Structure 1
Amino acid sequence: MSDKKTGAVLVVGGGIGGVQASLDLAESGFKVYLVEKQLSIGGVMAQLDKTFPTNDCSMCILSPKLVECGRHENIELLTYSEVVSIEGEPGNFRVKLLCHPRYVDIDKCKGCGDCADACPVERPNWYEENLAMRKAIYRPLDQATPSAFGVDKLGIPPCRAACPIHVNAEGYIALTAAGKFEEALELVREKNPFPGITGRICTHPCEEKCDRAKVDEPVAIDYIKRFLADWELKSKGERDWNIEKEEPTGKSVGVVGAGPAGLLAAYDLAKKGHSVTIYEALPKPGGMMWVGIPAYRLPRDVLFGEIELLEKLGVKFVFDTQVGKDITIPELRKKHNALFLAIGAHKSRKLKIPGEELEGVFGAVEFLRKVNIGEEVFVGKKSVVIGGGNAAVDAARVLWRLGSDVSILYRRTIKEMPANPEEIEETMEEGIPIEFLATPVKIIGKGGKVVGIECVRMRLGEPDESGRRRPIPIEGSNFTMDIDMVVPAISQSPDISALGELGNIKLTRWNTFEVDPVTLQTSVEGVFAGGDAVSGPATFIQALESGRRGAISIDRYLKGEELHTNREGEGPFETDVEATIEGVLPSPRMKMPAIDVKKRGGNFNEVYSGFDEEMAVSEAKRCLTCAICCECFQCVKACEPDAIIHNMLPTERELQVGSVILAPGFDEFDPSLRKEYGYDRFQNVITSIEFERILSASGPFKGHILRLSDHKHPTKLAWIQCVGSRDKQVDRPYCSSVCCMYATKEAVIAVEHAPDVHATVFYMDMRAFGKDFDKYIERAEREYKVRFVRSRVANIDEDPKTKNLYIRYEDEAGRLKVEEFEMVILSVGLDASRS
């Protein structure tokens, strides 16, 4: 054992015990490290209204000690920190601490609260025993030491992690709930410049991961995004783009294809200061968003209006230019410093059955292209669409609008159908029949034209490589349908052959571009590819992710940087952040208003009209704010001294101390373990510490005694003693020592606050721990008319109409009695601190 001793002391716990010990040691000349796991010191005493037996203000006693503790030269406060380990021997201990990030620079923070005023996220306030709300950036109390605020942040929420381009859904939803629509839209556009488009056609993987679904239904994230884009146009008459663009780099990028992948790549690269030119074979931008998605889903003014942003950024569009015919890829490579190939998948796959060459057979992609461009197209009187994806559903709904008697054939069941569930529901609403578990085997022709189709019934076998059950033909189940038009919509592929000379660009066996999966660079340096031309037919949001990934790689390539490092955060990922759903009441998802089915035929008017402000706010308030802080950064904008640092990380610290004082305080007994008392079931059954906050002038009710159920003033109050003390059934055989006195104190203070209060204390026996404390109890009975009833309480029931409470108890004489009260306070016992 070393003879050299360390003259510093570690005090663990910032309650009154730890604070007083620290002050005494510091005054004796010792260096003190005071460690507290919360943002500030003070502990439970800071929550109390008064102290017994003097009934003095708790904070009046505590506050000077907190201030002295924060200012004392021998005391170092280490708040929001925890002890990881203690090693060594008396006189020489090595202590490892984990210091959690509070995301606020304590030295810069003025404690003004502007950040909290700007924060849109509200959470139950633990300091107020969840009787009031606080913001995600907060301090526990106004007299907090340190006075700096802190951010309650758990990480990346599931919705944001699931989004391929990581749009901050929790952030813009929180801002929407607060009525800050302009700020919400600005936050959307930080990651996604196309909110109006996305809000209409995205497959919203964010909603699939929404924790609200554990309670009822996911938040309508996409609809809220769409509302924000629509609101801007309605309120301002134009799109208010606030574009920040870096200085020109002198580098040039050519993008082939003006679909979602090409557009987002061009947008990101233009913002980085690069000169971008998009080459498009069609006469307008949008790619499959224009020629593949009908106008009733995506109005053209929304589509082309949001794409205008790229022109404002300086992106050049070269339309009606077929790469491979009008200009070759090698020529483009010479013309630009880098290329991004995003040609999409515009070629329908064949059914590979007899009769596919007949007149009246149109691939879904080609059929939709003709309709959307405005070209003349054949429409059968009785048609059938083959497939179960979005292209199949779109083709069928377009045919229905054009007057065809259309049906859909799909070889699996509705459960396996890959189309968006909303689109399937709308298809059925419009009366389009879907023939499940059926597939075509031959198209029947006469005179070179389609006159029918022969199909076979299917049954589902074991799952295939897609995870869906494999369809198996049922022998002898063939049937025919009389039709004059067939639209195969089983899939599509990129038309690579149309590009002509590729140079040394390699292709996969699926006839897609072979790329590095991380960087999207092809086999030719400086040539990158993305979207459906790499992945095969995918979703709109996946195409956006591909465009962003390609833009990151191209920007690095043009700057001479390494392409592979620090790419882990791109694309969707899993997060361990989960919402707290305990106590969350079901609230139905807001339904999007739609035009009547009878008014949809014969036109391409948009089906859904969108949320109004009231609907959007109401839906946004369903968000559970899983990560608490939503990283909308409104606090950063509001903070004048720039004290908020959202990228602050946890740190470890090692201390050398000679001795350790453990003062971690206590935990309250959880009264919900005693089901007979109704805590967590009956709103007007509360704990003693909750009643302290009700009594406090700084508390949620400003010192007025109010019931939680109706916020009315109760006059008949009861206290029940020994809840979680002297009770072997819950493994607490010990007396907690203070419950008798604090219950008596609370009864006295309640009468002082409101003389019309009648207080009753149900007890087994009263224990006054302290010199002459029994006189305090006698005075309560004599002067404040507090009624003490020696008894054993059996249970509490509630009147469902009045929310009043019935206490059933056995008195000293063994008689069973029932009394009615308006509020019941449980004198909960104390447990050793779990920390």
Structure 2
Amino acid sequence: MKKIGVFICHCGHNIAGTIDINKVMETIGKYPGVAHCEDYNYMCSDPGQNLIKAKIKEKNLESIVVAACSHTLHEPTFRRAAEEAGINPYLVEIANIREQCSWIHDDIDLATKKAIKIISSIIEKVRLNQALTPGQVPVTKKAMVIGGGIAGIQSALDIANAGYEVVLVEKTPSIGGHMAQLSETFPTLDCSQCILTPKMVEIGHHEKVELLTYSEVEEISGTVGNFKVKIRRKSPYVDWEKCNGCADCSKSCPVSIVDDEFECDLGMKKAIYRPSPQSVPNRFTIKKTGWAPCRVACPAGVNVQGYISLIRAGKYKEALALERQANPFASVCGRVCNHPCESDCVRSEVDEPIAIASLKRYIADHGDYSLNKQTPTGDKIAVVGAGPAGLSCAYFLALKNCRVTVYEAENAAGGMLVLGIPEFRLPRDAVKADIDFIESFGVEIKTGVKIGENYSIEALRSEYRAVFIATGAYEEIKLDVPGEELNGVIHCIDFLKKINSGEKVMIGKKVAVIGGGNAALDAARVARRLGSDVTILYRRSRKEMPANYWEVEEAEAEGIKIEFLVAPVKIHGREKVQEIECVRMKLGEPDASGRRRPIPVPNSEFKVATDNIILAISQRPKIDWLPKEFETTKWGTLIVDPVTLETTVADVFAGGDLVSGPATVIEAVAAGQKAAAAIHAKISGIKIDTEAQPKARPDKEPLQHLKRIMRTRMPKLNREKRNGFDEVELGYDEGAARHEAERCLNCAVCCECRECETVCEPKAIDHRRADTFSEYEVGAIVVATGYDLYPVEKLVEYGGGKYQDVINGLQFERLLSASGPTNGEILRPSDNKVPKTIAFISCAGSRDPEHNLSYCSKFCCMYALKHALLYKERVPDSEALVYTIDVRTGGKDYEEFYIRAKEEKVIYLRGKPGRIVKENDQLAVWSTDVSSGRPIKVVCDMVVLAMAAVPSKGTIDLTRKMRIPVNQQGFLNEAHPKLRPVESLVAGYFLTGCAQGPKDIPETVAQASAAASKVIVMFNMGTLQTEPMIAFVDEDLCCGCRICINTCPYEAREFDESKNVVRVNEALCQQCGCCIAACPSGAAQQRNYTDEQLLKMVEAILG
């Protein structure tokens, strides 16, 4: 049996004051295996250590137990003493009888009994301890600092100045952190930028510092001395190596947004920006949040926000060019598009959606229509059908240098655009302008050519590299009721074709139109212009009507009657129509289309006298001319590949109404665009890009502060003048167009108009630039992620987020700053007036358990003082009131600063306001007088909240990657609050600044240098000892279940396929013991913490 020595420390009265040391000595001295037991007042002192060393040699002791304080404090001390006396340091154990016993008990008897059990259990453990030898690992002498505020800057500079390489990672485009946003610093009132920018510039030019701004940590692996860190370098969409910071790009950018970063929502910035003129690096970044909802909603992906932004800037030529990148039919879609983009417009959450189609029409009417003839030289492609799908496909293929020939059976190109839509909605000149533009790219259009008669599909396949069929859906569906064959029953498409072809059409005085789609509305409005009294019969309700609601409203305004929930059942007449018999309907459950199914109402039949009936039920494709090799659906549409639109016949593609059935113009354009991309991909041997773009959406919070501005109404032809086919909608003038464009919310921020590209001389702009990844091997990591302010919106009682003149301290700093949004003039956000009374409220969120922020944010008292003083200085006739619970002035010269504030007649009010309410254009602050308990009401112009400091956004995610602990509020936990304040509990991570907890600038800088010194000491050592008490696997017991692999938080376990067992990566193991608890077979063990030892310890405690 091992000879064990037990040494019991009194620790003054810390232990001996609660525990009967003599009784412990008497009991433990008789414990089996204990060869020597002795006590001493302070065992950690030199005499105490010498005592242990002397007894080891005198008694030939083999293992040592020291009953004292926590092992985290003096375990190294006693191990070193034992090693000097010849004992392996891992045969020394600490029995914690202070923190775990004497400090938490008042009863001496209970404390004494517990101390004996603790010591006994540790004796059993040390009896089975093995002599271990720590390993040695080399240290990678390169550091990483995460966070580019003043803490990160100071740490990085100290390490770099010691001669070691540093990688400084900052998630924003510039270093500087919150200090760069400050106007002055307390208590000296130095200009913050003046004392910070020299350090920022030094970082940017230091040969030992690699600066990675606009970057974030993606992954971290490894352990102290040898970390591997993967960094995501977010794309700024600007090549910073080429960018010279000239700002030409920002000047040309048409998008201005609220600066929610540097200017704290009080100023504006462009979509391409740098945080401030003193940014380091002084380069520009483009902010993108995806595609705007309007662009996502558009079937063709038209860059709506882009052309609206250019309209706002008065760049109509550029706006039209941008529209045409995705849609050649600007004139057409500006007039007849069903604009699904408007349905998704976020502006509708404020007032009304942007008049997107009307703005499109404006640029089509006022943009550049100069035609530059081009002659493609690439592959030959045939397109069958010159409607919007066929012509769009031809256009996009021509842009890719394909030689395209379009075959059209009718005598004019345009399809339903010229044959189906009447001129009062779509003038022929508008259609011609778009088709002329398409032809200017070398697209050849052959009209009067019927495929199946003049040419066969097979002939086209042999002559052309690919064929695209887009012949539309012209065949009308019958009503299938008795009397449909009578004279006077007209099919809608035939009727509209004759009208649009200039044929004279004779119809009677009374006309009934059956159907509820746009074609039915067009036919009804045409018949009305021909002098008829028109009634539309529709079998569902207004809500289910497929026609555009604005067309329905126009039809009714023109005197057309609409009978809803009515279905025809029979047509009466002798050779010619006389009346139509109908039945009333009610709506049942939804059908396949999602609309509620109409159900006849019994005994509700009635008759409508009429001279003509126009049937506008629906259409389907006419496909009898196609060879049988083409597969079709039961609805008579072609079957195509959903991604490529290729038919079941090789190299023949199809789209538009021929595939989808009757659809909208913009859906036809989208089909042509999609087919062109697929055809080009196939003939070029490249892959089709099918990746969906993320949908951008602005935060809802700022929307509530937007002023309601209703959309600009479209000027229209007077109703009394609508006797002919003159266009009804007259279009915006320039003032109306730019006013409407101003309403856009710039949801995606960057609208990808590419104006910045045109003015950038170094050609630094790259909108396709993707995020990149870099991997670094470092020996130590300094975490300096800083703080954010608690959101004012969460202080509902103070009107946070509701009242514009309730702001936080950082916002007030920007108002004070000469480079801020008001150039240093203090103005109210709501009306830009100078406030004459400001209430500064301390501890807003801090020391408030209701908000789970029970701590003091430490620097709030002082910056509230600073704000009040600077306000009084800038507005001499003002009144500054500071609400405070206490004033904490814990730094050098802070108390003097407080006294100065009182001398400057800053008014201090004890107590915390209960609520703030709006009174006219001012704010009423209600609080309670501390001495009398009476309510006090103070009316002021503005309120500045000294908000609580909270961990910066993303800190928790980062700590999970680093596997380091945080406290309840999310601040990083230090290894020991007094003895190891800049070290983490996980070796190799060092903490500094507000990442560890709120602190002011002087304390932050001091702590940053302390963290840097820890790194430098470690690097100077060159090698590190590795802890040998790590996990191991008994391969005879391991069943290969791999449960421990998923359990290990440090990824220190890997599976050996050849032996079907788990192995431990000793370099990564952190001795946490999770694997041992999870292992079902007992194969996972830890050196000097084996199951046998743990069971013996339990037996000793229970015995």
Both proteins in one fold, TM over 0.5 = yes
Instruction: Indicate which of 711, 724, 738 corresponds to 1:589.
Output: 711
Distance, in Å, in 1 between the alignment partners of 2:486 and 2:925 is: 81
Q: In the TM superposition, what is the alpha-carbon distance from 1:395 to its structure 2 partner? A: 0.8
Give deviations 1:736-792, integer Å, cap 9, x for gaps: 11112111122222233333333232222211111232111112222x232323344
Please say if 1:141 is aligned against 2:276.
yes
Q: Percent of pairs identical after alignment?
A: 48
Instruction: Indicate which of 781, 785, 795 corresponds to 1:674.
Output: 795
Whether the 8 Å contact between 1:709 and 1:803 is mirrored in structure 2 is no
Please say if 1:163 is aligned against 2:319.
no
Whether the 8 Å contact between 2:922 and 2:939 is mirrored in structure 1 is no
- Residues 1:82 and 1:2: Cα distance change in structure 2 (over 3 Å): farther
Q: Secondary structure at the match of 2:137?
A: coil
Whether the 8 Å contact between 1:158 and 1:575 is mirrored in structure 2 is no
Q: Which amino acid aligns with 2:538?
A: Y
* Equivalent position of 1:787 in the other structure: 907
Instruction: Indicate which of 932, 949, 971 corresponds to 1:830.
Output: 949
Distance, in Å, in 2 between the alignment partners of 1:567 and 1:319 is: 33
* Equivalent position of 1:536 in the other structure: 661
Whether the 8 Å contact between 2:345 and 2:354 is mirrored in structure 1 is yes
Q: Secondary structure at the match of 1:77?
A: strand
Please say if 1:741 is aligned against 2:862.
yes
Give deviations 1:436-456, integer Å, cap 9, x for gaps: 11111111121x111111111
Distance, in Å, in 2 between the alignment partners of 1:264 and 1:290 is: 16
- Residues 1:674 and 1:536: Cα distance change in structure 2 (over 3 Å): closer
* Equivalent position of 1:235 in the other structure: none
Distance, in Å, in 2 between the alignment partners of 1:6 and 1:459 is: 79
Segment drifting more, 448-457 vs 521-530: 521-530
* Equivalent position of 2:973 in the other structure: none
Distance, in Å, in 2 between the alignment partners of 1:451 and 1:137 is: 68
Q: Secondary structure at the match of 1:261?
A: helix
Distance, in Å, in 1 between the alignment partners of 2:825 and 2:878 is: 12
Distance, in Å, in 2 between the alignment partners of 1:164 and 1:578 is: 18
Distance, in Å, in 1 between the alignment partners of 2:375 and 2:779 is: 56
- Residues 1:788 and 1:556: Cα distance change in structure 2 (over 3 Å): closer
Root-mean-square deviation over aligned CA pairs: 2.1
Alignment of 1:199-210 (within 5 A): 199-210=334-345
* Equivalent position of 2:587 in the other structure: 460
Give deviations 1:808-833, integer Å, cap 9, x for gaps: 44154444333332222222221233
Whether the 8 Å contact between 1:512 and 1:536 is mirrored in structure 2 is yes
* Equivalent position of 2:251 in the other structure: 117
Whether the 8 Å contact between 2:537 and 2:566 is mirrored in structure 1 is yes
Whether the 8 Å contact between 2:535 and 2:560 is mirrored in structure 1 is yes
Q: Which amino acid aligns with 1:833?
A: S
Please say if 1:66 is aligned against 2:207.
no
* Equivalent position of 1:280 in the other structure: 408
Alignment of 1:246-261 (within 5 A): 247-249=376-378, 251-261=379-389
Distance, in Å, in 2 between the alignment partners of 1:489 and 1:745 is: 75
Distance, in Å, in 1 between the alignment partners of 2:645 and 2:867 is: 68
Which gives a bigger RCO, structure 1 or 2 (Cα 8 Å, sep 6+)? 1
Distance, in Å, in 2 between the alignment partners of 1:728 and 1:290 is: 70
Distance, in Å, in 2 between the alignment partners of 1:508 and 1:773 is: 82
Runs of 4+ in 1 over 6 A off after TM superposition: none
Q: Secondary structure at the match of 1:480?
A: strand
Q: Which amino acid aligns with 1:83?
A: V
Segment drifting more, 509-518 vs 430-439: 509-518
Distance, in Å, in 1 between the alignment partners of 2:173 and 2:394 is: 45
Q: In the TM superposition, what is the alpha-carbon distance from 1:34 to its structure 2 partner? A: 1.1
Alignment of 1:269-418 (within 5 A): 269-418=397-546
* Equivalent position of 2:918 in the other structure: 798
Distance, in Å, in 2 between the alignment partners of 1:321 and 1:824 is: 76
Distance, in Å, in 1 between the alignment partners of 2:234 and 2:520 is: 52
Distance, in Å, in 1 between the alignment partners of 2:861 and 2:789 is: 15
Q: In the TM superposition, what is the alpha-carbon distance from 1:63 to its structure 2 partner? A: 0.2
Q: In the TM superposition, what is the alpha-carbon distance from 1:212 to its structure 2 partner? A: 2.6
Distance, in Å, in 1 between the alignment partners of 2:567 and 2:282 is: 70
Q: In the TM superposition, what is the alpha-carbon distance from 1:201 to its structure 2 partner? A: 1.1
Instruction: Indicate which of 604, 627, 642 corresponds to 1:477.
Output: 604
Distance, in Å, in 2 between the alignment partners of 1:506 and 1:815 is: 86
Q: Which amino acid aligns with 1:603?
A: G
Q: Secondary structure at the match of 1:619?
A: helix
Whether the 8 Å contact between 1:738 and 1:769 is mirrored in structure 2 is no
Whether the 8 Å contact between 2:571 and 2:577 is mirrored in structure 1 is yes
Q: In the TM superposition, what is the alpha-carbon distance from 1:183 to its structure 2 partner? A: 1.6
Instruction: Indicate which of 200, 208, 225 corresponds to 2:360.
Output: 225
* Equivalent position of 2:720 in the other structure: 598
Q: In the TM superposition, what is the alpha-carbon distance from 1:32 to its structure 2 partner? A: 1.3
- Residues 1:326 and 1:826: Cα distance change in structure 2 (over 3 Å): same
Q: Secondary structure at the match of 1:88?
A: strand
Distance, in Å, in 1 between the alignment partners of 2:451 and 2:178 is: 72
Instruction: Indicate which of 792, 817, 820 corresponds to 2:939.
Output: 820
Whether the 8 Å contact between 1:794 and 1:810 is mirrored in structure 2 is no
Distance, in Å, in 2 between the alignment partners of 1:334 and 1:653 is: 51
Distance, in Å, in 2 between the alignment partners of 1:566 and 1:46 is: 46
Distance, in Å, in 1 between the alignment partners of 2:741 and 2:675 is: 33
- Residues 1:506 and 1:787: Cα distance change in structure 2 (over 3 Å): closer
* Equivalent position of 2:831 in the other structure: 710
Instruction: Indicate which of 40, 44, 51 corresponds to 2:174.
Output: 40
Instruction: Indicate which of 713, 730, 733 corresponds to 1:612.
Output: 733
Residue ranges of structure 1 left out of the alignment (5+ in a row): 233-237
Distance, in Å, in 2 between the alignment partners of 1:504 and 1:825 is: 76
Whether the 8 Å contact between 2:836 and 2:878 is mirrored in structure 1 is yes
Whether the 8 Å contact between 1:793 and 1:810 is mirrored in structure 2 is no
* Equivalent position of 2:210 in the other structure: 76
Q: Which amino acid aligns with 2:311?
A: T
Larger-gyration structure (1/2): 2
Q: Which amino acid aligns with 1:479?
A: F
Instruction: Indicate which of 103, 107, 114 corresponds to 2:241.
Output: 107
Whether the 8 Å contact between 1:347 and 1:366 is mirrored in structure 2 is no
Query: How many residues were matched structurally?
Result: 816
Give deviations 1:592-633, integer Å, cap 9, x for gaps: 222222221x21111111122222222222222222111111
Q: In the TM superposition, what is the alpha-carbon distance from 1:334 to its structure 2 partner? A: 4.5
- Residues 1:332 and 1:775: Cα distance change in structure 2 (over 3 Å): closer
Distance, in Å, in 2 between the alignment partners of 1:535 and 1:403 is: 36
Segment drifting more, 328-337 vs 265-274: 328-337
Q: Secondary structure at the match of 1:117?
A: helix
* Equivalent position of 1:689 in the other structure: 810
Q: Secondary structure at the match of 1:140?
A: coil
Whether the 8 Å contact between 1:805 and 1:823 is mirrored in structure 2 is no
- Residues 1:597 and 1:561: Cα distance change in structure 2 (over 3 Å): same
Q: In the TM superposition, what is the alpha-carbon distance from 1:76 to its structure 2 partner? A: 1.2
Q: Which amino acid aligns with 1:388?
A: G
Whether the 8 Å contact between 2:376 and 2:442 is mirrored in structure 1 is no
Whether the 8 Å contact between 2:841 and 2:912 is mirrored in structure 1 is no
Q: Which amino acid aligns with 1:775?
A: E
Q: In the TM superposition, what is the alpha-carbon distance from 1:262 to its structure 2 partner? A: 1.5
Q: Which amino acid aligns with 2:434?
A: E
Q: Secondary structure at the match of 2:257?
A: strand
Q: Secondary structure at the match of 1:686?
A: strand
- Residues 1:820 and 1:527: Cα distance change in structure 2 (over 3 Å): closer
Please say if 1:517 is aligned against 2:636.
no
Segment drifting more, 13-22 vs 175-184: 175-184
- Residues 1:325 and 1:792: Cα distance change in structure 2 (over 3 Å): closer
Q: In the TM superposition, what is the alpha-carbon distance from 1:407 to its structure 2 partner? A: 0.7
Instruction: Indicate which of 370, 382, 385 corresponds to 1:240.
Output: 370
Q: Which amino acid aligns with 2:169?
A: V
Q: In the TM superposition, what is the alpha-carbon distance from 1:505 to its structure 2 partner? A: 4.1
Segment drifting more, 408-417 vs 611-620: 611-620
Q: Which amino acid aligns with 2:809?
A: S
Q: Which amino acid aligns with 2:370?
A: D
Distance, in Å, in 2 between the alignment partners of 1:68 and 1:826 is: 34
- Residues 1:730 and 1:336: Cα distance change in structure 2 (over 3 Å): closer
Q: In the TM superposition, what is the alpha-carbon distance from 1:264 to its structure 2 partner? A: 1.2
Residue ranges of structure 2 left out of the alignment (5+ in a row): 1-134, 956-1103
Segment drifting more, 167-176 vs 511-520: 511-520
Q: In the TM superposition, what is the alpha-carbon distance from 1:312 to its structure 2 partner? A: 2.4
* Equivalent position of 2:685 in the other structure: 561
